[in-house]
Amino acid sequence: MEEKRKSGGEGGCEWFSPRILWYLGRMKIRIQHKLFVAMLMAAGAVVLSMYLVMRWSFDRNFLKYSHTLDLERLEAAAGKLEEAYAAEGSWRFLTEDPQRLRGLLENFPGMMPRRPGGRRGMGMGAMRDMPPGPAPEPGGWFLRRIVLLDGEKNPVLGPSAPPRGLELRPLTHDGKTVGYLGMLPPRIVSDARQLRFVREQKRAFAFIALAVVALAALLSVPLARQMVRRIRELASATHLLASGRFDTRVHGDSSDELGQLSRDFNTLALTLEKNEAARRQWVADISHELRTPLSVLRGEIEALQDGVREATPHAIGALHGEVMKLGRLVDDLYELSLSDLGALTYRRAETDLAGLLRQAVDAYRNELAGRGIRVEADVPADRPFPAFADPDRLNQLFSNLLENSLKYTEEGGRLSVRIGREDRKAVVDFEDSGPGVPGPELERLFDRLYRVEGSRSRATGGAGLGLAICRNIVEAHGGTIAAFPSSMGGLRVKVELPLSG
């Protein structure tokens, strides 16, 4: 038990604060009270440390100040001792009767009258340091500290071995040094006025410390309440956000960590709100895209069942065409979902981008010519563009871009396809004639199910998934894709893909 007490006493400061804070964390109390107690403990620890340091510094410096005053008094005592030596002719009178020194200094300013009723008033541990026995006579504390040496520095009064560094004042007679007078540094304050001053200062220190702790407690209450109010606001907003209220926002106008947390919360809420809106739009668009071919199929089949239309090869072919459109839409959706999940397979190999681009353009020449669209291809055959890529996915990329121009370029228009090199990247441009795309719409061309025209009619194009799939394929190969206005009045799609050589 004794060892435990010692170990606990030695590391008290190190043990106290963390352990108390740990208990506060374990207790089931409100966070406002925890913050109040923690701030009050911190303020109390600081004030207590300052109080102890200031008290120690005051005691030490006040003793130095008291010693300085005693040294000034010692100058007057030196004059009386020189007069006594001149009268006696030696220091033998003090060696034989040390009490004569008291008579010489009887009216000296350092002599203190005894307090009525007992011992002289003392402070800073003086009562503990006093030896047992009767109280000292008036001026005893001052006289006991006097050190008197003869001309050869042999002790006359005071300790037999004066401490080193003691400041000694020479005593002279007829121009000859007959002795040395010094004063031992005080360990206690003995002057009544000084003791009263010391007590008043310590009382003031204690009062100031208590006042500061009380002020810290008063300031901690609104501060803790303010911090908890913001935390409570964030908690309430989080509950609303978790319940689906994505339009919830909190105030984040402060520059501290809670302000940054509030701004991050607002960013998260905005992102969730946009994602929810995109999800709803996605579901609505998918439903619309699926409803069109299903409605056509239903109408055709019901017409056949009611005998309105005969089951001719032409009718069956129309049904088959709608089924194929529905199948392509489902395939595109499935492929896009795999790409978003990162599950779309890529079989990469060394591939010539120029060769793939020529094959894709040649495959669409007849269809483009059927609509009167003139193709201008600038794809050099003698200059390879090597890339480590999936040739099937890149062919799908080029085909989707050509299909987009085929569907939206007006008849009799132009299509320019070219490939070039910039640093270690291949730049492929698809540029067609009108109609163009409004500037604000360019950034949304690669969104899922987005088409420039307002209606969702499939007569003018597909479901709006082709460019979204193109973006995923390009990004999977470490490239970029962007849309710009064309110099021919239509759309320009720029694809950048990294080269391997």
Taking only the tens place, the pLDDT of each residue in 349-373 is 999 999 999 999 999 999 999 999 9
Long-range residue pairs from 133-142, CB within 8 A, at least 24 positions apart, any chain: 137/102, 138/111, 138/112, 138/113, 138/114, 139/102, 139/105, 139/108, 139/110, 139/111, 139/112, 141/112, 141/186, 141/188, 141/190, 142/70, 142/73, 142/105, 142/108, 142/110, 142/111, 142/112, 142/190
The one-letter amino acid code at 272 reads L
- Any idea of the CA torsion for 82, 86, 87, 93, to the nearest 10 degrees? 70
State the Cα–Cα distance between residues 460 and 30, nearest whole angstrom. 64
Residue with tokens 């009611």: 306
Q: What is the pTM of this model?
A: 0.47
Long-range residue pairs from 370-373, CB within 8 A, at least 24 positions apart, any chain: 371/406, 371/409, 371/411, 372/411, 372/412, 372/413, 373/405, 373/406, 373/409, 373/411, 373/412, 373/413, 373/414, 373/415, 373/432
The one-letter amino acid code at 160 reads S
State the Cα–Cα distance between residues 471 and 243, nearest whole angstrom. 34
pLDDT (0 to 100) of residue 453: 54
> How far out from the chain centre does Cα 86 lie?
81
Cα angle 259-265-269, degrees, rounded to a multiple of 5: 150
Tally Cβ neighbours within 10 Å of residue 279: 10
Predicted confidence pLDDT, tens digits, the chain (501 residues):
444 444 444 444 444 455 655 555 555 566 667 777 777 787 778 878 877 887 777 777 777 777 677 777 777 788 888 888 888 888 888 887 787 777 777 665 554 444 443 343 333 333 333 343 333 444 455 677 788 888 888 888 888 777 877 888 888 888 888 888 887 877 666 566 667 777 787 788 888 888 888 888 887 778 777 777 888 888 899 999 999 899 999 987 778 888 888 899 999 999 999 888 878 877 777 777 778 778 888 888 888 888 888 888 888 888 888 888 788 778 777 777 776 666 567 889 999 999 999 999 999 999 999 999 999 999 998 888 999 999 988 998 999 899 888 988 999 999 999 999 998 999 999 999 978 888 778 878 887 766 665 433 344 555 567 788 888 889 989 999 999 999 898 999 999 999 987
Q: Are 112 and 189 in contact (CB under 8 A)?
A: no
Sheet with 176-183, edge to edge strand ranges: 155-157, 146-150, 176-183, 168-173
pLDDT (0 to 100) of residue 474: 93
State the Cα–Cα distance between residues 351 and 497, nearest whole angstrom. 12
- Pairing mode of beta strands 414-422, 374-378: parallel
State the Cα–Cα distance between residues 417 and 430, nearest whole angstrom. 5
pLDDT (0 to 100) of residue 255: 80
Cα angle 17-21-24, degrees, rounded to a multiple of 5: 145
Q: Are 169 and 180 in contact (CB under 8 A)?
A: yes
pLDDT (0 to 100) of residue 193: 67
> What sign has the CA pseudo-torsion 433, 435, 438, 442?
negative
Burial class of residue 234 (count of CB atoms within 10 Å of its CB; 0-12, 13-18, 19+): middle
Sheet with 414-422, edge to edge strand ranges: 374-378, 414-422, 425-433, 489-498, 480-485
Task: Please give the domain boundaries of the chain with CATH numbers for all domains.
Answer: 1-243 (no CATH), 255-344 (1.10.287.130), 347-498 (3.30.565.10)
Which two structure tokens, joined as six digits, stand for 479?
Answer: 């490239």
State the Cα–Cα distance between residues 167 and 471, nearest whole angstrom. 92
pLDDT (0 to 100) of residue 355: 93
Q: At what angle do helices 31-88 and 192-242 cross, to 10 degrees?
A: 160
- Pairing mode of beta strands 349-352, 168-173: unpaired
State the Cα–Cα distance between residues 286 and 299, nearest whole angstrom. 20
Closest of 283, 287, 286 to residue 275, by C-alpha: 283
Indicate left, alpha or beta for 2 from its phi (over 0: left) and psi (-120 to 50: alpha).
alpha
State the Cα–Cα distance between residues 110 and 93, nearest whole angstrom. 23
